[in-house]
């Protein structure tokens, strides 16, 4: 019986300690990621030539860019189910052409969704001609759950002669490049104040390891508690009981 208790105690202490080490390693990964984000954000912004010179722009996540180009408004996409301050709405995604053969998918901002008629789009502007934008390199919009369903290549043109739009749950850069025929090299998030009917209240990019540190502390404490209880009940308490018995006899 004592051997069984010892085996269970050692296994439990080792398992909980290992879980604590795992959570601590996750915290270290997040600290390193947070540091890389801060370093990228502190770098000077890239211009057109510097951005185009990158073989893989997505490897420079969160670095700022100052670009000149033109919006390809006919390929604007609206991503549905993207709430802002508890209000339903869309993320507006428009390709931005920085050279005759290279474009980037830009997450331009947020617009509210009509609570009654889903396809009644709130007005927003897309500047024509050559424009300048401030943005940062991103990994693309987050993925939402969706049921498979066919989508047309383009949406119906509205009565106000607005640009072609397409309401979707998600957008995949490679698939959209194939659909549109564009050479899409990466994803960007436009920065700056609210304008053009778009809200740009993006969440601050940061990585917190507080939860992992808390979990690690709990697992380490549990491991220590198991060791303490084994020592107390299987070693110290029997010795104390034996000593008291010998004294009384």
160 and 235 share a domain? Answer: no
Give residue 249's pLDDT. Answer: 60
135 and 232 share a domain? Answer: no
- What percent of the chain shows pLDDT beyond 70? 91
Higher per-residue pLDDT: 245 or 62: 62
Interval 216-222 mean pLDDT = 96
Give residue 216's pLDDT. Answer: 96
32 and 56 share a domain? Answer: no
Residue 198 falls within a domain, yes or no? Answer: no
Range of the structural domain that residue 114 is part of: 45-190
The answer to whether residue 116 scores a pLDDT higher than 80 is yes
Contact 121, 163 (CB under 8 A): no
Residue 30 falls within a domain, yes or no? Answer: yes
According to the 3-state scheme, what is the secondary structure of the chain? CHHHHHHHHHHHHHHHHHHHHHHHHHHHHHHHHHHHHHHHHHCCCECHHHHHCCCCHHHHCCCEEEEEEEECHHHEEEECCCCECCECEEEEEEEEEEECCEEEEEEEEEEEECCCCCCCECCCCCCCCCEEEEEEEECCCCCCCCCCCCCCCCCCCCCCCCCCEEEECCCCHHHHHHHHCCCEEEEEEECCCCECCEECCCCCCCCCCHHHHHHHHHHHHHHHHHHHHHHHHHHHHHHHHHHHHHHHC
Give residue 207's pLDDT. Answer: 75
Separation between Cα atoms, residue 247 and residue 241, nearest integer Å: 10
Residue 204 falls within a domain, yes or no? Answer: no
- pLDDT interval class at 148 (50, 70, 90): low
110 and 167 share a domain? Answer: yes
32 and 49 share a domain? Answer: no
The answer to whether residue 161 scores a pLDDT higher than 50 is no
156 and 59 share a domain? Answer: yes
21-74 pLDDT tens trace? 999 999 999 898 888 888 888 899 999 999 999 988 888 888 999 999 999 999
92-101 pLDDT tens trace? 999 999 998 8
217 and 136 share a domain? Answer: no
Q: How many domains, the chain?
A: 2
66 and 182 share a domain? Answer: yes
Residue 159 falls within a domain, yes or no? Answer: yes
85 and 58 share a domain? Answer: yes
Residue 81 falls within a domain, yes or no? Answer: yes
Residue 197 falls within a domain, yes or no? Answer: no
- What percent of the chain shows pLDDT beyond 90? 56
Q: Which of 17-21, 55-59, 120-124, 241-245 has the lowest mean pLDDT?
A: 241-245
Give residue 234's pLDDT. Answer: 87
Residue 200 falls within a domain, yes or no? Answer: no
Interval 142-154 mean pLDDT = 62
Give residue 230's pLDDT. Answer: 92
Instruction: Supply the pTM of this predicted model.
Output: 0.71
- pLDDT interval class at 147 (50, 70, 90): low
18 and 65 share a domain? Answer: no
79 and 101 share a domain? Answer: yes
81 and 140 share a domain? Answer: yes
Residue 14 falls within a domain, yes or no? Answer: yes
Give residue 159's pLDDT. Answer: 38
């Amino acid at each position: 019986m004592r051997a069984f208790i010892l085996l269970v105690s050692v296994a439990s202490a080792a398992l909980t300690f290992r879980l604590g080490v795992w959570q601590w390693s996750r915290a270290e990964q997040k600290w390193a990621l947070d540091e890389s984000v801060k370093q990228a954000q502190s770098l000077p912004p890239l211009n057109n030539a510097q951005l185009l010179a990158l073989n893989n722009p997505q490897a420079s996540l969160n670095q700022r860019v100052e670009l000149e180009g033109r919006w390809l408004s006919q390929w604007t996409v609206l991503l549905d189910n993207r709430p802002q301050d508890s209000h339903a709405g869309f993320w507006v995604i428009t390709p931005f052409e920085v050279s005759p053969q290279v474009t980037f998918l830009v997450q331009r901002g947020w617009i509210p969704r009509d609570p009654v008629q889903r396809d009644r789009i709130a007005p927003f502007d897309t500047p024509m001609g050559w424009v300048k934008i401030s943005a940062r390199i991103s990994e693309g919009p987050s993925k939402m759950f969706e049921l498979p369903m066919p989508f047309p290549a383009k949406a119906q043109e509205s009565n106000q002669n607005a640009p072609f739009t397409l309401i979707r749950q998600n957008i995949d850069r490679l698939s959209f490049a194939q659909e549109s025929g564009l050479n899409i090299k990466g994803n960007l998030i436009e920065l700056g104040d609210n304008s053009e009917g778009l809200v740009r209240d993006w969440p601050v990019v940061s990585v917190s390891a507080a939860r992992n540190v808390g979990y690690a502390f709990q697992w380490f404490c549990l491991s220590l508690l198991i060791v303490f209880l084994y020592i107390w009940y299987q070693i110290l308490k029997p010795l104390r009981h034996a000593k008291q018995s010998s004294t009384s006899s």
